[in-house]
Amino acid sequence: MYTASDLRKGLRIKLEGDPHIIVDFNFVKPGKGQALYRCKLKNMLTGAQFDRTFRSVDVFEPADLQEKKMQFLYREEDKYCFMDNETFEQVYLTEDQVGDMKNFLVENLETEVLLFENRPLGVSLPNAVDLYVKVAEPWAKGDTVAGKTKPVTLETGYVIQVPPFIEAGEKIRVDTRTGEYLTRVKD
């Protein structure tokens, strides 16, 4: 169990039966009376955010969250299918639950799916993934200006800025946290 003094940004607690994450946190000690803990909470199931004030005597149950290694299988309309590597069970996440990670999901990619009481909440990817360049404008030799980049479209449909020497069909490494080009990958 957590007490109010344990509250901090990023802490995951169970409140009214649902998992919540603390998005913002302020400690207030008025001149008289007991200390107050003002928090902005986000419901991890619905995405709803709200403010709540707690007293120092309040206690909280930790959210029963677990991360499982799963493999991304395929996308079907707005659902993303992941398979548990041990039990081979399949779970589906919505496009909202996947968020911007959809730009880096390719078949058979090893991921970690966040579960609350065996219900999927979200997905986290490795820090870098290797993707093929699908569309790239040709590069004119001699067109070399320091820091110049060009847009390319990756196999997932994501558009990214890369150095001008990258061509269609090449494999590049992309940082999934920032969405930026890292390096060219040799097969």
Percentage of residues in the chain having pLDDT higher than 70: 96
CA dihedral 169, 174, 178, 180 (to 10 degrees): -50
Same domain, 73 and 58: no
Same domain, 103 and 143: no
Question: pLDDT tens digits for 24-75?
Answer: 989 888 888 888 899 999 888 888 899 999 888 889 998 888 889 999 999 9
Question: pLDDT tens digits for 67-118?
Answer: 899 999 999 988 999 999 899 999 999 888 888 899 999 999 999 998 888 8
Same domain, 6 and 58: yes
Q: Residue 175 is part of which domain span?
A: 128-185
As a whole number of angstroms, the distance between CA 56 and CA 47 comes to: 26
Same domain, 69 and 37: no
CATH code, domain with 86: 2.40.50.140
Single pTM value for the model: 0.72
Number of domains in the chain: 3
Interacting residues of 104 by C-beta distance below 8 A, sequence separation 6+: 125, 129, 131, 156, 158, 174, 176
Is residue 141 scored above 70 in pLDDT? no
Q: Which sign, positive or negative, has the C-alpha torsion 62, 117, 45, 114?
A: positive
Residue 64, Cα to own-chain centre: how many angstroms? 19
Same domain, 144 and 175: yes
